[in-house]
Structure 1
């Protein structure tokens, strides 16, 4: 099972989160992804060069407390809900 790390120290707002997620969840795309909740949900499905569509993966969100208290804190709960909606993802926050 592939393990993907989201590091809360690497972003300070929602836009930098989306930019970081693009680097983590995509590889060799010839187009840009959307920077919104729907696009984030789509990336979690897979098929964007890092893992296959609905492939079982583990996502670890490190330094989650920093993310929860940062500028994008109001949406952090929504991001977690979106991740948890994917049954093929084993998710942990540390």
Structure 2
């Protein structure tokens, strides 16, 4: 089975709310129960919320990551990167 790729645009992440808006738009657009916190992000990355099945291997490509890094608080950016990097079914690409 092919790995699904999801592209998040760092240009849309001008705030914490903007980050979660982008994640929801790309990874779970039809799921209204997204908790908009790092635990919820971890859950979404596991799958089963509409765009890929639970446990599926996925690739997340973040374009304009420099804008994301510039706009988000350093500690929040670091925690987001930790969640993404530690997710066993996620291949992360930063551009």
TM score, norm. by length of structure 2:
0.89
Aligned to 1:22: 24
Contact 1:7 1:62 in 2 (8 A): yes
Q: Which of residues 9, 14, 31 in structure 1 aligns to 2:11?
A: 9
Matches within 5 A, 1:32-51: 32-51=33-52
Structure 1 residues 48-57 or 72-81, which shifts more? 72-81
SS in 2 for 1:60: strand
1: CA distance, partners of 2:30 / 2:69: 30
Structure 1 stretches lacking a partner, 5+ long? none
- Cα 1:49–1:92 change in 2 (3 A) is same
2: CA distance, partners of 1:77 / 1:56: 23
Structure 2 stretches lacking a partner, 5+ long? none
1: CA distance, partners of 2:61 / 2:73: 18
